[in-house]
């Protein structure tokens, strides 16, 4: 049966959901507040696992491939080579490609339309949409509504979901240091600056982005500028965002009246909190929502996604309390056999990754348990 589906928000997960549903012959319309899909660029790095979800659909958005990670902590350096390269993606190009694919498969995209509210009207949901430059909101009916409108989702708020926890992300475009190949990413662990890490990700043979994630209320731009100066790098431009921080699994489906409301992407909090990467889990959640809409349920898909996000939450809980000495110890424990495991299994396969790493180096498990026991 063909169904009428309304999606709010032109995020990567939103357009991907629209594309898959439209490809399956469903009637899909997507409302996006921006006047066009010409977004500011933002560099993202994902594992090759994304190709398991999308196939070759993301090819036009891949701007570089990373084959090696260089990890730094308190004078220690560890290098991990990857069997399958990580992919550096231009978020703007990815969203534009997803939008074009959705439209080509029959989805109706309406830009310049801002979601205001929803309420049941006996037949479904009555949506109020504000058109930019027009003081008179329009009304739309929906039996199936998908909120893909980001970390501050109005769909989630209006449908009664709790507010998402978010953290700030800040990065600068810089020229690559002379000693950094364009297929290598550098990561620095400096817990006095951030409980996460600094990264330098090349997106071309000559340039890349250096950034960090901070805590709420932390002035991360000051930390970033100080770090840039220390490394002798000049910022060309800055990129910033707030991203959802997964704190616990929240069911991303609700019935309001006789209608169904779903959340995908950052709106659902589908973010790997170990690294704050949201693209792969966002697409996993989108595919699970599509399965639920088309076939009436996706318990297995949601269960697998929840387990993966919970494992990343546990990893983050351990690392969040690491001291500089802990990170130094961590790098010291990365033996050649552990590095081989890290090269074979990526961070979107945490069950396999952790099992192999702990079997090769039990002291890593002890280090993690110690951090849990004495953590905040």
Which CATH number belongs to the domain containing residue 256 in this structure? 3.50.50.60
Q: What pLDDT is recorded for position 84?
A: 94
In tens digits, what is the pLDDT along the chain, a chain of 376 residues? 788 999 999 999 999 999 999 999 999 999 999 988 877 778 899 999 999 888 888 888 999 999 999 999 999 999 999 999 999 999 999 999 999 999 999 999 999 999 999 999 877 899 999 987 666 788 999 999 999 999 999 999 999 999 989 999 999 999 999 999 999 999 999 999 999 999 999 999 999 999 999 987 678 999 999 999 999 999 999 998 899 999 999 999 999 988 999 999 999 999 999 999 999 999 999 999 999 999 987 889 999 999 999 999 999 999 998 999 999 999 999 999 999 999 999 999 999 999 999 999 999 888 888 877 776 5
pLDDT on residue 375: 64
Taking only the tens place, the pLDDT of each residue in 45-85 is 999 999 988 888 888 899 999 999 999 999 999 999 999 99
In a domain, 308, yes or no: no
Number of folded domains that form the chain = 3
Q: Return the bridge partners of 207, or none.
A: 175
Domain assignment present for residue 307? The answer is no
Tokens at residue 173, please?
């475009």
Q: Are residues 350 and 215 in the same domain?
A: no
**Contact call for residues 22 and 107 (beta carbons, < 8 A):** yes
What domain range is 77 assigned to? 43-89+165-244
Cα 358 from Cα 355, distance rounded (Å):
5
Please check whether residue 96 lies inside any domain of the structure: yes
Q: Are 124 and 256 within 8 A, CB to CB? A: no
The per-residue pLDDT for 257 is 86
Q: What is this structure's pTM?
A: 0.93
Q: So what's the pLDDT on residue 368?
A: 86
Q: Is residue 304 part of a domain?
A: no
For residue 314, the surrounding DSSP H or E stretch is helix 299-319
What does 255-282 look like in DSSP terms, one character per residue? EETTEEEEE-GGGGT--BTTTTB-HHHH
Which is nearest to 142 in space by CA: 1, 7, 329?
7
Contact 130, 116 (CB under 8 A): yes
Same domain, residue pair 98 and 36 = yes
Query: Cβ distance 6 to 140 under 8 Å?
Result: yes
Residue 81 lies in a domain: yes
Q: Is residue 335 part of a domain?
A: yes
CATH number at residue 233: 3.30.9.100
Residue 340: left (phi > 0), alpha (psi -120 to 50), or beta? Answer: alpha
- Residue length, the chain? 376
144-178 tens-digit pLDDT: 999 999 999 999 999 999 998 999 999 999 999 99
Kindly state whether residues 159 and 169 are assigned to the same domain. Answer: no
């Amino acid at each position: 049966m063909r169904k009428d589906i309304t999606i709010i928000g032109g995020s990567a997960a939103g357009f991907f959901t629209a594309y898959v549903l439209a490809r399956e012959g469903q009637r899909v319309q997507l409302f996006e507040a921006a006047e066009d899909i010409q977004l500011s660029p933002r560099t993202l790095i994902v594992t090759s696992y994304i190709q398991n979800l999308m196939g070759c659909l993301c090819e036009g958005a891949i701007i570089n491939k990373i084959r090696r990670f260089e990890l730094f902590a308190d004078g220690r350096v560890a290098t991990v080579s990857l069997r399958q390269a990580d992919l550096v993606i231009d978020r703007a190009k990815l969203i534009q490609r997803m939008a074009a694919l959705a439209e080509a498969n029959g989805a109706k995209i309406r830009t310049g339309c801002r979601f205001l509210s929803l309420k049941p009207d006996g037949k479904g949901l009555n949506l109020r949409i504000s058109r930019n430059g027009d003081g008179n909101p329009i009304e739309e009916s929906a039996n199936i509504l998908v909120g893909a409108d980001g970390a501050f989702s109005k769909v989630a708020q209006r449908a009664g979901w709790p507010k998402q926890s978010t953290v700030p992300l800040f990065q600068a475009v810089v020229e690559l240091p002379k000693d950094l190949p364009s297929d290598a990413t550098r990561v620095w662990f400096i817990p006095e600056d951030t409980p996460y890490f600094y990264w330098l990700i090349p997106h071309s043979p000559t340039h890349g982005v250096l950034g960090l994630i901070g805590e709420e209320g932390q002035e991360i731009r000051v930390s970033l500028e100080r770090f840039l100066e220390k490394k002798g790098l000049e910022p060309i431009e800055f990129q910033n965002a707030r991203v959802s921080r997964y704190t616990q699994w929240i069911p991303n489906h609700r019935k309001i009246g006789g209608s169904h409301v779903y959340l995908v992407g950052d709106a659902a909090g589908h973010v790997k909190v170990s690294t704050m990467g949201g693209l792969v889990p966002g697409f996993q959640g989108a595919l699970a929502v599509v399965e639920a809409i088309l076939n009436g349920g996706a318990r297995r898909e949601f269960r697998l996604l929840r387990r993966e996000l919970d494992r990343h939450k546990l990893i983050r809980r351990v690392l969040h309390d690491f001291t500089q000495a802990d990170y130094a110890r961590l790098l010291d424990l990365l033996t050649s056999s552990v590095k081989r495991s890290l090269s074979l299994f990526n961070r979107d396969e945490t069950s396999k990754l952790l099992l192999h790493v702990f079997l090769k180096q039990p002291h890593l498990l002890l280090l993690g348990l110690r951090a849990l026991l004495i953590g905040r």
